[in-house]
């Protein structure tokens, strides 16, 4: 298992994509935040003091982290999660990989741990870079940055929480790529669910209250609570349980399918 | 003559147990694989000993790669067993990375890494491979100068050679090469053909799966010929070339099973294969009269008994023509 994990990390490290996706998340976060700063700078009247403050660390742990980690990192990590297995099929490296593994359980577990480690490093690094943006932004609009260690700490904690809340999507991407032997299936499936779940439940909600209750057991409703985006922030315990339950179920399906299947392609 | 670097001398303890000399490196018994109703491999038995190259010859679709997949634990046999170095496979997957090195159909490596890094990644996966071995192997397959270049920039010949290097990383008892010269020009094919006998000299057992007779006959100590998942004949190349005889017996369908069982029991008959209305029997072609007498004695009348003499090539051609891809 350790050997497989070490090899997995080695391959991730050698792959340009691992760094590139991070840089893309940085650039996209920079563009959104930069747009915010420029708007504030050019039109200081716009929303007066409130807007000027939003550029400083006052909004780091919420706006900063939700935008960069919750949104951009979420997308990038879905791509990575799907690629962990999906690329092995497209490169035809799955069969040699399985033949070189002492067990398939070890192989999948090594991949999941590598994905977890990569995600944590990705999210923490992104949160730190975005903290840098807030320094620059405050300086550009001429406000004191308002930086404090405790705000940074809150931001990092919230980044990790947001990563946790993304687990259902990451494990779903991993599962779909494994089951359908396709990178694209993992990415499209997980992103698709990310975008459609809430609107679908809203439409169904028109049909009856049953669906309004059902939504509370869906993924998005509970995940969004971690971003402070769902109205009620009560009952976080249930949301934690729901997030864990979906993730465990997706991983279980992945193991069940992959351990039993004949590996005749990839 | 044997001037390549002693790549096997650096094998660490724990892997590369090919020196133990007890029993076959690979033993297939009654191996069968069905995909739904379709039987890809049927009751196949085969041995590979240490230090020998066994050619595994058959037309496309004969079930060679499926067999290789079962040996590597990729495909679960429907029936029968795979035993590697005395350990039976299902449930013992760990013996595969430790004892088997394989190229499966086409060389497959990570395109974004160099050839060398691909070997390093493979070595890390199995563990216990000394660092120097990667470079020794690159030298063995003449890739030392291009080792640091990206795999995706390699020619097909270089990819195949990197594949051979990777099969030797753990100094495995068994090396499996599935169509190792696929798509290579004659010069590339020759390079691979030159490496194969060296593997056997170094004590590896080699299973060489191929649909090309000339690729197999030059380098193999023994050849097993398969068609439609069944073993048609097996033996030393010289022996097969000398013997090369078989008899075709045409029988009405209703007597097929009885005739087959009868012929199975007859002395002097090595292999009985049934297809459509034809029983193919590997035996001295002179045995035709005996076969006729035995069948008649059992009340079975063959509509045709044709003795055939053939070289390995014509035997193989007959087999190949008889099957569809
Ligand atoms: N996963 C699969 N599902 C169904 N049929 C398969 C599968 N894999 C291989 N086959 C069939 O099994 C037969 C043997 O294939 P294969 O072992 O690849 O032959 P060879 O390597 O000798 O060319 C072929 O007819 C092929 O179509
Ligand atoms: Mg094949």
pLDDT digit string (tens) for A118-161? 999 999 999 999 999 999 998 988 888 888 899 999 999 999 99
Q: Tell me, what's the pLDDT at B3?
A: 42
Q: Which has more confidence, A88 or B263?
A: A88
Question: From atom 4 of ligand 1, which residue's Cα is the shortest distance away?
Answer: B35
What distance in angstroms lies between residue B228's CA and the mean position of ligand 1's atoms? 10
Q: Tell me, what's the pLDDT at A234?
A: 65
**What ipTM did this prediction achieve?**
0.88
Query: Sign of torsion, CA A228 A232 A237 A238?
Result: negative
Closest CA to B52 of B196, B163, B164, B167: B196
Average pLDDT over residues A84-99: 96
* Contacts B40 to A, Cβ<8 Å: none
Cβ-Cβ contacts under 8 Å between A and B: the total is: 85
Query: CB–CB of A7 and B97 under 8 A?
Result: no
The pair of three-digit structure tokens given for residue A64, joined into one six-digit string = 């900063």
Residues with CB under 5 A from ligand 2 (ion): B 64-65
What strand order describes the sheet that includes B174-178? B100-103, B174-178, B205-210, B53-57, B222-227, B230-236
Q: Tell me, what's the pLDDT at A54?
A: 79
State the architecture of B24-240 in CATH terms: 3-Layer(aba) Sandwich (3.40)
Select the residue of B75, B97, B102 nearest A263 (Cβ to Cβ): B75
Q: Tell me, what's the pLDDT at B324?
A: 42
**Domain B245-308 part of CATH 3.30.70.100:** yes
pLDDT bin (cut points 50, 70, 90) of residue A48 is: low
Q: Is the confidence at residue A259, as pLDDT, over 70?
A: yes
Which of A70-74, A141-145, A185-189, B116-120 has the lowest average pLDDT?
A: A141-145
Query: CB–CB of B97 and A99 under 8 A?
Result: yes
- Determine the residue of chain A that is closest to B34 in CA distance: A262
What distance in angstroms lies between residue B65's CA and the mean position of ligand 2's atoms? 4
- Those residues with Cβ within 8 angstroms of residue B126's Cβ, 6 or more apart along the chain or in another chain: A3, A100, B15, B97, B98, B169, B170
Which ligand ends up closest to the CA of B66? 1
- Residues B213-246 as b/e (b if ≥16 CB within 10 A, e otherwise) read bebbbebbbbbbbbbbbbbbbbbebeebbebbbb
Residues framing ligand 1 (Cβ under 6 A)? A 264; B 35, 38, 40, 58, 60-66
- Are B272 and B281 contacting, i.e. CB atoms less than 8 angstroms apart? yes
pLDDT bin (cut points 50, 70, 90) of residue A224 is: confident
What distance in angstroms lies between residue B308's CA and the mean position of ligand 2's atoms? 28
In whole angstroms, give the CA distance from residue B286 to residue B300: 20
* β-sheet bridge partners, residue B231: B226
In whole angstroms, give the CA distance from residue B199 to residue A75: 48
* Contacts B120 to A, Cβ<8 Å: 10
Select the residue of A4, A11, A102 nearest B110 (Cβ to Cβ): A11
- Determine the residue of chain B that is closest to A3 in CA distance: B125
What distance in angstroms lies between residue B155's CA and the mean position of ligand 1's atoms? 27
Residues of chain B with CATH 3.30.70.100: 245-308
Q: Tell me, what's the pLDDT at B66?
A: 97
Select the residue of A99, A102, A103 nearest B102 (Cβ to Cβ): A99
Q: Is the confidence at residue A47, as pLDDT, over 80?
A: no
Q: Tell me, what's the pLDDT at B240?
A: 73
Query: CB–CB of B125 and A93 under 8 A?
Result: no
pLDDT per residue of chain B (325 residues) written in tens, 0 to 9: 344 444 443 444 334 445 555 679 999 999 999 999 999 999 999 999 999 999 999 999 999 999 999 999 999 999 999 999 999 988 899 999 999 999 998 889 999 999 999 999 999 999 889 989 999 999 988 899 999 999 999 998 899 999 999 999 999 999 999 999 888 888 888 888 899 999 999 999 999 999 988 888 889 999 999 999 999 888 887 777 666 677 889 988 888 889 888 888 888 887 888 887 788 887 877 788 899 999 999 999 998 898 876 666 666 766 666 544 3
- Determine the residue of chain B that is closest to A105 in CA distance: B93
Select the residue of B72, B121, B127 nearest A99 (Cβ to Cβ): B72
Q: Tell me, what's the pLDDT at B9?
A: 39
Q: Tell me, what's the pLDDT at B4?
A: 45
Q: Which residue, among A96, A109, A266, would best test binding to B if mutated, counting the most B CBs under 10 Å from its CB?
A: A96
Q: Which has more confidence, A78 or B273?
A: A78
Q: Please report which helix (H) or strand (E) contains residue B261, including its range.
A: helix B256-265
Report which DSSP code applies to B1: -
Which ligand ends up closest to the CA of B228? 1
Number of domains in chain A: 1
Q: Which has more confidence, B157 or A106?
A: A106
Instruction: Pick left, alpha or beta for residue B14 (phi over 0 → left; psi -120 to 50 → alpha; otherwise beta).
Output: left
- Determine the residue of chain A that is closest to B121 in CA distance: A7
SS3 of residue B232 by DSSP: strand
């Amino acid at each position: 298992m350790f050997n497989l994990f070490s090899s997995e990390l080695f391959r991730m490290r050698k792959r340009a994509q691992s760094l590139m996706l991070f840089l893309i998340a940085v650039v996209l976060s920079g563009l959104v935040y930069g747009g915010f700063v420029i708007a504030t700078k050019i039109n200081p009247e716009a929303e007066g003091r409130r807007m000027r403050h939003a550029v400083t660390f006052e909004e780091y742990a919420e706006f900063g982290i939700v935008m960069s980690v919750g949104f951009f990192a979420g997308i990038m990590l879905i791509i990575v999660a799907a690629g962990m297995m999906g690329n092995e099929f497209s490169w035809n490296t799955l069969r040699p990989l399985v033949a070189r593994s002492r067990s398939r359980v070890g192989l999948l577990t090594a991949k999941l741990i590598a994905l977890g480690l990569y995600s944590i490093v990705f999210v923490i690094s992104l949160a730190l870079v975005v903290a840098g943006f807030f320094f620059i932004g405050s300086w550009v609009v001429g406000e004191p940055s308002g930086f404090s260690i405790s705000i940074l700490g809150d931001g990092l904690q919230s980044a990790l929480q947001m990563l946790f809340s993304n687990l259902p999507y990451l494990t779903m991407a991993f599962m779909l790529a494994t089951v359908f032997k396709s990178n694209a299936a993992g990415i499209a499936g997980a992103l698709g669910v990310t975008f459609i779940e809430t609107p679908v439940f809203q439409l169904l909600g028109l049909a009856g209250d049953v669906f309004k209750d059902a939504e509370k057991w869906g993924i998005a409703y509970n995940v969004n609570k971690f971003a402070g985006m769902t109205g009620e922030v009560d009952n976080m315990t249930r949301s934690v349980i729901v997030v864990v339950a979906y993730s465990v179920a997706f991983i279980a399906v992945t193991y069940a399918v992959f351990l039993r299947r004949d590996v005749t392609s990839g | 003559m044997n001037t390549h670097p002693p790549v096997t001398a650096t094998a660490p303890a724990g892997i590369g147990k090919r020196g133990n000399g007890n029993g076959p490196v690979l033993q297939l018994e009654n191996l069968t694989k069905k995909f739904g109703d379709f039987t890809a491999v049927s009751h196949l038995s085969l041995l590979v000993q240490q230090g020998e190259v066994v050619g595994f010859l058959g037309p496309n679709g004969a079930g060679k790669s499926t067999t290789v997949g079962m040996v590597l634990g990729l495909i679960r046999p429907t029936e029968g067993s795979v035993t590697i170095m005395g350990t039976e496979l299902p449930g013992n997957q760990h013996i595969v990375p430790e004892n088997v090195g394989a190229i499966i159909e086409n060389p497959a490596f990570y395109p974004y890494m160099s050839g060398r890094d691909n070997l390093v990644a493979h070595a890390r996966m199995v563990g216990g491979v000394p660092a120097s071995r990667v470079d020794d192997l690159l030298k063995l397959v003449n890739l030392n100068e291009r080792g640091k270049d990206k795999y995706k920039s390699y020619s097909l010949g270089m990819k195949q050679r990197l594949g051979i290097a990777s099969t030797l990383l753990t100094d495995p008892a068994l090396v499996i090469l599935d169509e190792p010269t696929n798509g290579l020009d004659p010069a590339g094919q020759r390079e691979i053909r030159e490496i194969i006998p060296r593997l056997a000299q170094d004590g590896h057992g080699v299973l060489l799966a191929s649909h090309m007779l000339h690729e197999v006959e030059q380098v193999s100590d023994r050849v097993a010929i398969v068609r439609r998942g069944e073993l048609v004949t097996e033996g030393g190349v010289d022996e097969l070339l000398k013997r090369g005889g078989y008899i075709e017996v045409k029988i009405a369908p209703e007597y097929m099973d009885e005739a087959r069982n009868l012929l199975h029991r007859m002395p002097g008959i090595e292999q009985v294969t049934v297809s459509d209305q034809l029983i193919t029997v590997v035996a001295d072609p002179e045995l035709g009269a005996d076969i006729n007498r035995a069948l008649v004695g059992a009340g079975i009348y063959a509509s045709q008994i044709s003795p055939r003499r053939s070289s390995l090539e014509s035997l193989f051609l007959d087999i190949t023509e008889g099957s569809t891809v």
